[in-house]
Structure 1
Amino acid sequence: MSDQLHEIQQNGAHVELVRWLTSGVFTWQWWFLLAGLIVPWIILLKLIDRKRAHVIWFYGLMILIITSFTDDLGAEIGTWVYPIKLVPYSLISFPFDFSVVPVAQMLIFQYFRSWKKFLIALLIQAMIFAFIGEPFSVWAGTITYYGWTYYYSFLYYIFTGSLTKAFVNYWTPKKSNSLNP
């Protein structure tokens, strides 16, 4: 039985590689994904508050962990798939999980320190990502949803950002992060 499962897995990996090589890599969508992985980090490196960088990076790491775990879970159970991927063997979307979402939320965390301003900015980011960015990604064919809605994503962004801010506020010394002006 174990040998049969291994053979099925090897065949599936080969099919995925061929599919990626013939219809994924170097398409305009693939270049879009590559830019989505690189450009946000360039922006962050230019804008990050060096005095608070350690707290901002901590916040971003928490967002990255939550987002990549959630993305992996959703892909594993078939809630969404990525027809065009940056790399062939991955259930997750690297640009989304490792760049776009963490960097956007890190910048919100940096610039909007009070809870009220943070939540307003997070609400705007969630609306843009869920109701503009995700429909564009579906249209572009970089993601396909099965039972997932943009409204769920909207709530996810708000929940994740808020929970992470509360966690970081609790676990970092007040004098080093200056979260409350």
Structure 2
Amino acid sequence: MNYPSDEQLAEMMRQLTQARIENFLGQHIGTWRWWVLVILLIAPWFIWYKLVDKKRILEVTLFGVIIMVFTITLDEMGFVLSLWSYPVEVIPILSRLTSIDYTMLPIIFMLVYQYFSTWKRFLGALVVLSTVFSFVAEPIVVYFGFYVLLKWLYWYSFPIYIIMGSLARWIVKRLIDIERKG
């Protein structure tokens, strides 16, 4: 079998990146969708700063960064596997919905983490959050053309949000226990 070389793959990636940049500059930058994504990337951080418990800011931020790592990783995997795509991006060299991965999901998860301190309450809030994200927010984002489902269904996202939040909380709580014992 004739496999593409590393150099051929790099050239294909360069051509794809160039095409994405040209598409972005010709069709998306400055459109209302692009401006919505820019606002959603920046503005929620000001709200978060007002709401975050400053006494727990490191803990809450660590939780948010873990959520961000999960969302970016999962989003990249889904994009590369052609499970979904994003017609409009804030930055054309990133193949993900940066406003959601870097801002909206981490901030909302951080606020849930902050306000629901016991596992029972946190898991209940995660179920509600996962329901809203999977069956309300995602369809709205699809409807307005920010997100295109290729080989993905909304209900696939539901357990992922719950697992992601639970795992992030477990990691943070474990690190806090290690620090206290240390």
CA distance in 2, matches of 1:166, 1:10: 40
Please show how residues 103-142 of structure 1 align to structure 2 within 5 Å: 103-142=107-146
Match status 1:27 vs 2:26: no
Q: 2:54 aligns with which of 39, 44, 50?
A: 50
> What is the match of residue 152 of structure 1?
156
Match status 1:61 vs 2:65: yes
User: Over aligned residue pairs, what C-alpha RMSD do you find?
Assistant: 1.9
Structure 1: segments with no counterpart, 5+ residues: 177-181
Say how many residue pairs are matched: 176
CA distance in 2, matches of 1:167, 1:14: 39
CA distance in 2, matches of 1:16, 1:161: 32
Q: CA 1:166 to 1:20, structure 2 compared with 1: closer, same or farther past 3 Å?
A: same
Q: Secondary structure at the match of 1:173?
A: helix
CA distance in 2, matches of 1:4, 1:147: 27
Using the TM superposition, give the Cα deviation of residue 10 of structure 1 relative to its aligned residue in structure 2, in angstroms. Answer: 3.3
Q: Secondary structure at the match of 1:172?
A: helix
Structure 2: segments with no counterpart, 5+ residues: none
- The two structures have a TM-score, normalised by structure 2, of 0.89
> What is the match of residue 179 of structure 1?
none
Q: Secondary structure at the match of 1:18?
A: helix
**CA-to-aligned-CA distance 1:79-130 (integer Å, 9 cap, x gap):** 1111111111111211111111110000000011011111121111111111
CA distance in 1, matches of 2:72, 2:14: 25
> What is the match of residue 172 of structure 1?
176
